[in-house]
Structures are given as structure tokens and as C-alpha cells.
Amino acid sequence: MGIWTHLGQHDIQRLDDAPTQLPEQGFLWLDTLLDDDLVWIPTVEALLGFKLDELHLEDLANTFHPSHFDIGDGYNILIIRSLSSKPLFDDSNRLSIKTRPVFFVIAPKLLVTFRPKDSRTFAMARKFLELANTRNLDEIEHFLKFKRAPADPNELMIQLVSNLVDRFLETRIEISEQLDRWQRDLLNPRKRFQDWNALLAARNEMNRLESVAQDQRDALTDWQDDQEREGKMAASLQVNARDALEHLERVVSLTRRLGANTETAVQLHFSATAHKTNEIVTVLTMLTALFMPLTLISGIFGMNFGNMPLLENPNGFWISLGLMGLSSAISVALIVWIKGRHTLGKP
């Protein structure tokens, strides 16, 4: 059924049972799990005094729904896709960024969160609320952004969203290190690169992560516009919203930069391969140019004619060898001269 919490002006109280009415002071927070399905809907509708829109109920049942914001009759619904707790790279070194939805149903005196069971952000939020009563806030981990108990459902929601967004930023170190290793392997002339499938999968995952971040940014921007249009945007709420949007922009720019770096490394790899091939072709061309005169001379003396110059000359063999040596020396001199001109940059 979820965990009910009453957040008042001076105290925070976890409720043993579902309340029968909204509080006069403060607001209620119902924290439910995706594993619980939608069993909490009747209780929430009884508290609000109206039914949730059927389309919104369909959205809540869709675990593949992208990030989105929509306005209901007396409430708002915000969907943010959060990062899964599974490892980024599997056993075959393939990048796999898995996300799952977090649903927020926001009413003036009530916030309902419908989220995955193993969310670190929500675990730390519950820990914060437990410590807030004792004023022992120094025990809270540094990554948590809660500085004080939220004053309304929107403030609690934006604090949770901000921490969910920061989870994407935490992945940049691990992804960047792996991409750096791939880049070094791509440019290593002594090592043949074998992880093409993993590299291409990483490029696709970076594109998908960029799309997820853009959807999150659009949903949060729509929520912010609605708050400003209704004139309900407090100064502290504006700061938190701008901070979350700025971090989403950083996620978008990060994915684009990593994707561009990967593309650049691939292009450099093919350029280096093409350069190496050109050098091999150049060596083969020089060898061909060196042996062409020798092949020509030996072919002439191999013709089946009865009378040919130098055939009956006792020194003909040595003269032909001398011609071959002279032609080889001339060919080598020409190759050295041409390479010298190109090295000096002369036309």
C-alpha cells in the first residue's frame, strides 16, 4: 500500500494507516512501489474527492512511458525516467543504460510517488525525513540535496527529481574511462581492435541517453512553465528547478561530447589504417619501379631471335648485368630525389 508520511511545519510523522482526509497544515506524501501496482488509487481518489483521469491511469500502468508532464483536474502528473541500479557494462563489455519510470502525482496537499523498489534516491529521502526530526542532518550522505524539510509537494518533488537527474551525471566517469580505453586501442598500431560490436552498441546507447535527457528536460520545463503561469513558483523552488534543468543540459552536452569523441576516434582509426595501407602501397610501388628495368632487359635477352646484339659477344653477359645495375641505380636515385622533394614540401 505504500508509506504515508505527514510533513508539517515543525515535525515529520510517519503514519501507520492511510489518512481519511488531507491535513490543514503541511501535506501528505504517499511513497509507493511499482511492484504494488495501482492498489493505492482508491485511497488517493477518496482523499482528493475526485477520480484521476483514465488516460493518466493508463500512463501510470505503462512502465515504458517516456518522461512527460501533464495537467489533470485538480492535480498534475510528472513522469521522469530514472537510471537503473544495474551495472552499466555487462560481462561482454557492452554498455547498456537501463531506465525505469518514476511517477509523481502532485496535488496541493498531497504528493504520490510511484517508483522502483531499489531507488537509492528515495531511500536517502526517507533517511533524511527520519533524521530531520532529530536534527541530526550531518549523517546524511553528501550527494543528497535536501537541505531542509520541504514546505509543499512541489518542493519535495523537485528535490527528488534533482537527485534522480544527478544519477545520470555520476555515470560520466565510468563511461568516459571505458571510451578512453577503446580510443587508445583504436589508435594502437600494434593491437588489432576487436570490440567493434561493443563500441557500436555504446554509440547507440549514448544516443538513447541523449533522448532520455531531452525528454526529462522537456517534461521539467513544462512543469516549470505551469508553475510560473499559475504564480505558484516560490524562490527556493525556482532555484531547485533551474539547478535540475542545468544538470539535464549537462547530461545532454556530455552524451553529445562522448558520442563525438567516439566518432572522432573511429575516424582516426580508419585514417590511420588508410595511411598505413598507403605506405605499404608506396613501398610496393617503389619495388615495382626498381625491378621494371630489370624485367625489361631480361625479357629482351630472352627473345627467340637467331641474331641479336651481344649474344655472341664474350662480354655480353657482363654488359647486360651492367645495364641492369645502372638502371637500378638510376631508379633508386629517382625515388630518393622524388621523396626528398615531397619531404621538403616543394611543388
Asked which of 254, 272, 290 is the last residue of a domain, the reply is: 272
Position 218 scores a pLDDT of 93
Q: Which residue has the higher pLDDT, 68 or 330?
A: 68
- Do 199 and 67 fall within a single domain? yes
Question: Are 328 and 204 members of one domain?
Answer: no
Same domain as 175, residue 44: yes
CB atoms within 10 A of CB 218: 15
CATH at residue 330:
1.20.58.340
| Structural domain harbouring 147 | 3-272
Check residue 69 and give its pLDDT: 95
Of the residues 272, 294, 316, the one at which a domain ends: 272
User: Are residue 229 and residue 318 in the same domain, yes or no?
Assistant: no
* Shared-domain flag, residues 46 and 153: yes
Count of structural domains within the chain? 2
**Domain CATH number, residue 264:** 3.30.460.20
Closest CA to 156 of 302, 30, 305: 30
Looking at the structure, do residues 205 and 314 belong to the same domain, yes or no? no
Same domain for 285 and 254, yes or no, is: no
pLDDT of residue 36: 83
Claim to verify: residue 21 and residue 106 sit in the same structural domain: yes
Are residues 322 and 245 part of one domain?
no
**What mean pLDDT is predicted for residues 314-318?**
78
Residue 266, all three cell numbers: 573511429
Same domain, 76 and 219: yes
In tens, the pLDDT along 239-283 reads 888 888 898 888 888 888 887 877 777 787 778 778 778 878 888
Question: For residues 244 and 96, what is the distance between their CA atoms, to the nearest angstrom?
Answer: 24
Residue 147 sits at the vertex; the CA angle it makes with 142 and 149, to the nearest 5 degrees, is: 130
Grid cell, residue 44, equals: 488517493
* All three cell numbers of 57: 491511469
Same domain, 319 and 236: no
Specify whether 196 is located in the same domain as 295: no
* Digit-coded pLDDT (tens) for 166-218: 888 888 888 888 888 888 887 777 777 778 888 888 888 888 888 898 999 99
Confidence of residue 111 (pLDDT cuts 50, 70, 90): very high
